């Protein structure tokens, strides 16, 4: 899985600089969850979405997991000492609790709106890891729990001016031929003038809709709907995974 150690401060600046609209996502998630109170955020990062979600509805009981310690340090500072944050990998986490909803707002998994189709975007390595991770999420949800995966546009080349005179740049290249499962390489950097403040290369995976549905089904989730604000794919936790012998 991709980590962000070494660029945490730059990453946080990017998230605060308009890369995601956390307030809009938080309002949409709040509407979907309704009376559900206990929430597990998958890949909480530096805590910006959790902060917006808590501001939208202070009654939410939010637990966040991430496996980059420096991200969790910033998130703890942002959310306060009472916030429950856990250093863990979603494929092996054991939070010793169950939740009413789990949300990936841009962390481990996302739904990519590729205009002609929806894709599952992921930071994990392969089909087996996707199913393993999502089954583990299912095991941490109540029987009627929900899984919310945020909808994002496909990655593309662009530059963004951030506060403090920092320029963010990202460049995308394909590493495999586009088929049912393909990868891209995402190179990005943070610069102030000629000074490089941070740079990283990520490998991101994508699954086409038919495979995405199979992965979620094997993990015990059933697609319910796209929320009214078109911010999330909403899945219900069946607790009974489908079985199939087809893998990629």
Q: Beta partners for 118?
A: 113
Alpha carbon distance 61, 57 (integer Å)? 10
pLDDT band at residue 81 under the 50/70/90 scheme = confident
Q: The pTM is what?
A: 0.92
Tokens of 86: 């856990």
pLDDT given at position 116: 87
Burial class, 56, CB count within 10 angstroms (exposed 0-12 / middle 13-18 / buried 19+): middle
Q: How many residues does the chain have?
A: 248
* Residues in Cβ contact with 34 at an 8 Å cutoff, skipping those fewer than 6 apart: none
> What tens digit of pLDDT does each residue of 95-127 get?
999 999 999 998 899 999 998 899 999 999 899
Q: Which CATH class is domain 21-154+207-237?
A: alpha beta
DSSP character at residue 155:
P
**Neighbour tally for 194: CB within 10 Å:** 5
Cβ-contact 11, 73 below 8 angstroms: no
> What tens digit of pLDDT does each residue of 204-236 get?
999 999 999 999 999 999 999 999 999 999 999
DSSP character at residue 186:
E
Cβ-contact 76, 137 below 8 angstroms: no
């Amino acid at each position: 899985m991709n980590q962000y150690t070494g660029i945490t401060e730059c990453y946080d600046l990017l998230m605060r600089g308009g890369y995601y609209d956390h307030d809009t996502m938080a309002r949409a998630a709040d509407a979907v969850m309704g009376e559900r109170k206990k929430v597990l955020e998958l890949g909480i990062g530096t805590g910006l979405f959790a902060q917006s979600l808590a501001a939208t509805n202070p009654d939410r009981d939010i637990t966040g997991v991430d496996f980059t310690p420096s991200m969790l340090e910033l998130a703890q500072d942002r959310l306060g000492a009472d916030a429950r944050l856990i250093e863990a990998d979603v494929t092996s986490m054991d939070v010793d609790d169950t939740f009413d909803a789990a949300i990936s707002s841009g962390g481990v998994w996302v739904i990519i709106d590729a205009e002609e189709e929806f894709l599952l975007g992921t930071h994990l390595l392969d089909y087996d890891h996707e199913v393993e991770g999502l089954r583990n999420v299912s095991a941490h949800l109540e029987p009627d729990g929900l899984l919310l995966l945020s909808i994002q546009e496909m990655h593309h080349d662009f530059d963004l001016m951030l506060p403090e005179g920092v320029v963010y740049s990202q460049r995308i290249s394909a590493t495999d031929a586009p088929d049912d499962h393909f990868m891209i390489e995402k190179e990005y950097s943070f610069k102030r003038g000629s000074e490089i403040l941070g740079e990283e290369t990520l490998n991101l995976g994508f699954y086409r809709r038919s495979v995405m549905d199979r992965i979620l089904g094997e993990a015990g989730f059933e697609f319910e709907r796209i929320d009214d604000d078109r911010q999330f794919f909403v899945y219900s936790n069946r607790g009974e995974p489908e079985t199939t012998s087809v893998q990629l």
